[in-house]
Structure 1
Amino acid sequence: MGIINFFIELIKDPRTAIAAWITMGVAPTLGFIFLIVFIETGVVFFPFLPGDSLLFAAGFFAAPDAATGTSALPIMALLPVIWTAPIVGDQCNYFIGHFFGRRIIDSGKVKAMTPERLASTEAMIDKWGPLAVFLGRFFPFIRTFMPFISGISGMRWTRFTPFSVLGGLTWSTLFTLLGYFFGGIPVVQDNFELVIVAILVISLLPTIIGLIKARASRRTSQD
């Protein structure tokens, strides 16, 4: 139950989670951030981890304090961590899909990998090709399934990797710098939990719309 509670609290309030890590030191905090982003990206069994909001909260702690000019996390140490984690995670997930993907899907052990989500991810690949790897990085669940499905589909590693690297760098930099520049605004600080919820909702909205469209299309074809 301990690990479950850890993930629940992390999803609910990443700012409090990072604040607790900071009390252990900068190095452990960077290690935890790397691990969470890597797991969300690189392990197909954990698509529910809050990558977007975690990066935003990390950026918030990297911003210099208005009074002292110091920060809890040095931005120049944070950036290499949040750049490396999604790139390495994507590579790991691609090869998991390439070598073990069909067996994992057939086992039914990844409950989050519903037929609708698989269909949505495969539709992106069919429509956009390797560009889908870049675009999928910005959608929760899809960013976890995209490298996995890319490995299953036979997309060449040399086509997958450039778009994976570009997507990982763009996504991680964007959300971290949003927290860095806007996390210290008083209205954001006073409503930080609502901001996190808004980030989650906005991130999930395209995926939800895609699933609804896919389900409606399937019903239409059945009729």
Structure 2
Amino acid sequence: MSILPSWLDPEVILNGAGPWATAVVMAILFAECGLLIGFFLPGDTLLFIAGLLVATGTLDVNIWLFLALLWVAAFVGNMVGYWIGRKVGPAVFKRPDAKFLKPEYIEKSEAFFAKYGKITVVLARFVPIVRTVATVMAGASKMDAKIFTLYSAIGGALWVGIVTLAGYFLGRIDFIAENVDLIFVGAVVIVVLMSAIPALLHLRQRRRRAAER
């Protein structure tokens, strides 16, 4: 049983899309990975359920072609989000009267992406909302475009491949298929903790340096 509302339920989306299911999945991944308005979309569960439906033949498409198409959508979405952040972000954060998007935030973001940008771009793929926001912030922070492109491609391939193939091979187990959302909640918690380790180590180093002064 899904904990998502029906209009965000991957099975409802895919079954309703019919022969356009692959295109619909690609459009959703593009929006979630590149457009801030797509942060609420069910990327993880959608990939998992899509893999399951390919395995059962409900989605009539070769799994490897399917993975390639989804990777392209996720990668292109990330690149669009990056350039949106790079072009629009600095102007938004430079407003001196901003209450929430303050100039110092972008400075801290630039320092963070300079030090942890590579691993952040990869791990952010596995964390809902973060994968949308981190992409834009990487652009706003002017993270090196070549480095972002490389690690965005790697992260996209890992995310699409791991989650979709998990659905393809594991989704036929009743317990897993019936508790996809809960399983991903646990997975998200683990990934968030893993991605927080570099930031926590950085904070610890700062406090140690402050104490030595």
TM-score category, normalised to shorter length? 0.7 to 0.9
CA contact (8 A) 1:10 1:50 kept: no
- Structure 1 match to 2:42: 50
Structure 1 residue runs of 5 or longer lacking an equivalent are 1-6, 65-69, 108-112
How many pairs does the alignment contain? 187
Q: Which amino acid is the alignment partner of residue 139 of structure 1?
A: V
Q: Decide whether aligned partners of structure 1 residues 138 and 119 sit closer, same or farther in structure 2, where only a CA change above 3 A counts.
A: farther
Is 1:39 paired with 2:31?
yes
Three-state SS of the structure 1 residue aligned to 2:143 is coil
> Does the Cα contact within 8 Å between 1:124 and 1:132 map onto a contact in 2?
no
Q: Tell me the CA shift for residue 149 of structure 1.
A: 1.0
Amino acid at match of 1:72: L
Q: Residues 121 and 181 (structure 1 numbering): CA distance in 2 closer, same or farther, change over 3 Å?
A: farther
**SS of the residue 1:63 aligns to:** helix
Structure 1 vs Structure 2: percent identity of aligned residues? 29
Cα-to-partner distance string for 1:187-218 (whole Å, 9 max, x where unaligned): 334x2xx22232134315654895xx98xx8x
Q: Which residue, out of 158, 179, 194, partners 2:146?
A: 158
- Cα offset, 1:124, TM superposition: 5.4
1:78-119 alpha-carbon deviations (Å, 9 max, x no partner): 212211111000110010001011345689xxxxx9xxx999
Q: What TM-score comes out, normalization by structure 2 length?
A: 0.74
Matched, 1:9 2:6: yes
Q: Distance in 1 between matches of 2:108 and 2:39?
A: 15
The question of 1:174 aligning with 2:162 is answered: yes
Q: Is the 8 A contact 1:15 1:57 kept in 2?
A: yes
Match of 1:143 in 2: 131
1:176 corresponds to which letter in structure 2? T
- Aligned CA RMSD, in angstroms, stands at 3.1
Residues 201 and 46 of structure 1, relative CA distance in 2, 3 Å threshold: farther
Distance 1:73 1:196 in 2: 24
Distance in 1, Cα, partners of 2:152 & 2:13: 28
| TM-score, with length taken from structure 1 | 0.71
Please state if 1:89 is matched with 2:77. Answer: yes
> After TM superposition, what 4+ stretches of structure 1 lie above 6 angstroms from structure 2?
117-123
Residue from 33, 51, 60 that aligns with 1:73: 60
- How far the C-alpha of 1:10 sits from its partner, in A, is 4.2
The 1:104–1:31 alpha-carbon spacing in structure 2 relative to 1, beyond 3 Å, is farther
Task: Give 3-state SS (helix, strand or coil) of 1:139's partner.
Answer: coil
Distance verdict in 2 for CA 1:35–1:125, change over 3 Å: same
For 2:130 and 2:76, the matched residues in 1 are separated by 17
Structure 2: gaps of 5 or more residues: 96-100, 208-213
1:29 has 2:13 as partner:
no
The Cα shift of 1:59 comes to 0.2
Q: Could you tell me which amino acid in structure 2 is paired with residue 79 of structure 1?
A: L
Counterparts of 1:120 and 1:9 in 2: how far apart (Å)?
A: 39
Alignment of 1:202 with 2:190, yes or no, is no
Structure 1 residue 129: Cα displacement? 2.9
> In structure 2, do the counterparts of structure 1 residues 118 and 78 end up closer, same or farther at CA, with 3 Å as the change threshold?
farther
Q: Within 2, Cα distance between the matches of 1:19 and 1:118?
A: 42
Q: 1:135 to 1:187 in 2, by over 3 A?
A: closer
